[in-house]
């Protein structure tokens, strides 16, 4: 186990082995769900047209989405064979229920039949015939819903093999007469098989049994299914009629469709009392347990075209080994006496008693040769197609390919090999097989062995400079997983682009390794600090800070000298490393010289001072009789800011 099909479906365990395929429980690693994978036996894939038919049929069946039909998800090819991926039904088949609990109550059997008819109606409405309805192909989901499996599979194999060998595939206990005599089928053939299944659910046994498949097939063609009321005396006539309409030998006498059968059943059910519905057939004490004679799927050789088998013509006398209704049934039985009147001429009617020995000899020889032929055919079938043709697959895991080839040949099996990587099996050794060890394989079909190539090593691709999305895509294409993804600022790499990887490009790693990515967040923003009101000496202009400062001076009547008046951009603005911040430093107020006004008249001096921006204060000596400026305080040339007061001393 552990084989991965198509790089997607991991085989986990064996579920079942049937007449046409082996079924495995698997896990769909892409959609993360459990599925069932049915792998066909390679000897069935024996025609160039098979895969085309198989793919076409699988596509048709995949469109059947219905609660009473097992959904087909996918199909594909393996070396020498093909497979189908289906919905996994975690429940028993009707075969298991029959083996455990048959006969069923009338209600249980009819309810199951109703659900199967609903599924058949959905399939038939799309032109899809099953051709192999049987208890093994009816699966019950965990909530008890019956679901039909293997739609189209029997038809594909029959059509393909029939094109080359004129063989017919079907489960003989449930096969419709027209499939045997003509190799033809339609939806009424499915109804016949369902009728046989209903008979088995109600009685615990199929209506026809025999020593081999040919005997049973002959019975389907030569005998009518006995009325169930002959076996179950309390069975209502309406159920007899319903079953007869399903299992009539002539398809024209059956229900014309699943829809018609379903409608008839739904009319029938309300007519049955509750007590009657909950009754079940009690097998006579003479038989400890009803014999479960459900013959396996087998091939019946029939002529090509529409010709009937010579020994299956209804007009021919019955074989002395022809199957009959089960021995434990109280109903009528077919004669098995080889000397019965039905098999030999009546001497009394001929009037020539002395000729009886001569008449007996041809018949005796006929039966001897017929029995010998049937025995030979049975032996051939057993050794070539039956259980004798299947050999157990030996344990090969850990062997070299040469050792595996030799061991398979010793066990009568051939081999086909493919290589694959393995984390646990050394290179050159067998990883696993399909079928797995212990399963039986048809002798003409090769056993698939997977040979280890060792641990798969992959090369880390170049990702630096790629966007995050492109890098993740390249990693996936290189079949690596993304490890830790971190982000950091970069002055050189745009946001969203890979800065670095760990390990680096061209490093060789195991296939399941991960690669860490470092992604750029772009340039790091910094908030501009508030500088207004600070002295120039208090501003950090070292290399540790991100900005470049440019300074200018400006007079200010309000801001002391050496203190920042303003900045651009404003405090709190986000800028990047290396961006410029302009700072204006105060030079204090602007100063002007006191003009020379000595000897000037008071009026003229006052005007000159005011025009220079100063305020004027008059101080008179001797009442300023002459009106002439004697001096100024402060004196001429003194630097004062505008608005300062200059005192004129006037005499």
Residues marked as catalytic? 132
Exposed/middle/buried for 230, CB within 10 Å: 0-12, 13-18, 19+? Answer: middle
- Geometric angle at alpha carbon 565, from 559 and 569, rounded to 5°: 165
Q: Quick check: helix, strand or coil at residue 550? A: strand
**Per this entry, what is the length of the chain?**
651
Name 383's Cβ contacts closer than 8 Å, sequence gap at least 6.
Answer: 389
Helix, strand, coil % in the chain, rounded to nearest 5: 30, 25, 40
Please give the Cα distance from 238 to 233 (Å, whole number).
13
Note the Cα 512 to chain centre separation in Å.
Answer: 22
Q: Within 10 Å of residue 57's Cβ, how many Cβ atoms?
A: 22
Please give the Cα distance from 399 to 417 (Å, whole number).
13
User: 68-107 burial, b if ≥16 CB within 10 A, otherwise e?
Assistant: bbbbbbbbbebeebbbbbbbbbebebbbebbbeebbbbbb
Count each helix (H run) and each strand (E run) in the chain, helices first.
Answer: 15, 30
Candidates 134, 135, 147; CA nearest to 101 is 135
Please give the Cα distance from 217 to 185 (Å, whole number).
15
Q: Within 10 Å of residue 455's Cβ, how many Cβ atoms?
A: 15
Please give the Cα distance from 336 to 173 (Å, whole number).
20
Note the Cα 176 to chain centre separation in Å.
Answer: 35
């Amino acid at each position: 186990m552990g084989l991965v099909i198509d790089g997607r479906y991991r085989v986990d365990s064996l579920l079942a082995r049937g007449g046409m395929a082996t079924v495995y429980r698997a896990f769909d690693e892409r959609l993360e769900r459990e599925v069932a994978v049915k792998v066909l036996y390679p000897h069935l894939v024996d025609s160039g047209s098979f895969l085309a038919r198989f793919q076409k049929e699988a596509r048709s069946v995949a469109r059947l989405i219905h609660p009473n039909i097992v959904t087909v998800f996918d199909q594909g090819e393996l070396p020498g064979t093909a497979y189908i991926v289906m919905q996994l039904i975690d429940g028993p088949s009707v075969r298991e229920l029959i083996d455990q609990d048959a006969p069923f109550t009338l209600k249980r059997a009819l309810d199951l039949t109703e659900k199967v008819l609903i599924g058949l109606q959905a399939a038939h409405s799309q032109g899809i015939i099953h051709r192999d309805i049987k208890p093994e192909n009816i699966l019950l989901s965990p909530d008890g819903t019956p679901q039909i499996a293997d739609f189209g599979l029997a038809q594909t194999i029959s059509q393909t093999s029939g094109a080359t060998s004129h063989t017919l595939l079907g489960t003989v206990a449930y096969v419709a007469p027209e499939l045997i005599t003509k190799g033809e089928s339609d939806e009424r053939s499915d109804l016949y098989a369902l009728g046989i299944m209903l008979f088995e659910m109600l009685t615990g046994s199929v209506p026809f049994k025999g020593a081999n498949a040919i005997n049973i097939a002959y019975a389907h063609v030569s005998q009518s299914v006995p009325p169930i009321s002959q076996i179950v005396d309390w069975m209502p006539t309406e159920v007899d009629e319903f079953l007869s309409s399903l299992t009539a030998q002539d398809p024209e006498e059956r229900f014309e469709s699943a829809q018609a059968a379903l409608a008839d059943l739904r009319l029938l059910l309300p007519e049955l009392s509750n007590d009657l519905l909950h009754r079940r057939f009690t097998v006579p004490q003479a038989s400890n347990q009803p014999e479960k004679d459900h013959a396996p799927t087998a091939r019946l050789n029939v002529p090509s075209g529409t010709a009937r088998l010579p020994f299956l013509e209804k007009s021919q006398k019955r074989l002395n080994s022809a199957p009959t209704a089960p021995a434990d049934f109280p109903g009528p039985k077919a004669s098995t006496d080889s000397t019965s009147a039905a098999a030999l001429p009546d001497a009394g009617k001929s009037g020539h008693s002395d000729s009886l020995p001569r008449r007996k000899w041809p018949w005796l020889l006929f039966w001897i040769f017929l029995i010998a032929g049937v025995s030979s055919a049975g032996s051939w079938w057993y050794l070539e197609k039956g259980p004798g043709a299947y050999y157990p697959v030996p344990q090969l895991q850990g062997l070299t390919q040469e050792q595996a080839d030799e061991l398979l040949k010793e066990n009568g099996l051939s081999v086909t090999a493919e290589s694959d990587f393995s984390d646990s099996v050394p290179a050159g050794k067998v990883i696993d097989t399909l079928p797995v060890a212990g399963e039986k394989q048809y002798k003409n079909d090769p056993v698939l062995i997977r040979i280890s190539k060792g641990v798969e090593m992959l090369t880390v691709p170049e990702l630096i400079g790629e966007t995050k999305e492109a890098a993740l895509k390249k990693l996936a294409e290189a079949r690596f997983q993304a490890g830790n993804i971190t982000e950091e600022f970069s002055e050189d790499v745009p946001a969203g682009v890979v800065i670095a990887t760990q390990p680096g490009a061209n490093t060789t790693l195991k296939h399941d390794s991960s690669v860490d990515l470092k992604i750029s967040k772009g340039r790091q923003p910094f908030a501009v600090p508030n500088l207004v009101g600070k002295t120039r000496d208090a501003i950090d202009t070292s290399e540790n800070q991100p900005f470049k400062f440019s300074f200018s001076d400006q007079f200010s009547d309000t801001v002391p000298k050496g203190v920042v008046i303003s900045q651009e951009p404003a405090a709190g603005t986000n800028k990047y490393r290396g961006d410029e911040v302009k700072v204006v430093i105060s030079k204090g107020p602007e100063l002007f010289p006191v003009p020379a006004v000595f000897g000037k008249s008071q009026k003229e001096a006052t005007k000159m001072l005011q025009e220079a921006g100063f305020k004027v204060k008059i101080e008179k000596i001797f009442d300023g009789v002459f009106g002439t400026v004697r001096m100024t305080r402060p004196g001429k040339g003194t630097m004062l800011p505008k608005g300062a007061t200059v005192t004129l001393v006037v005499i």
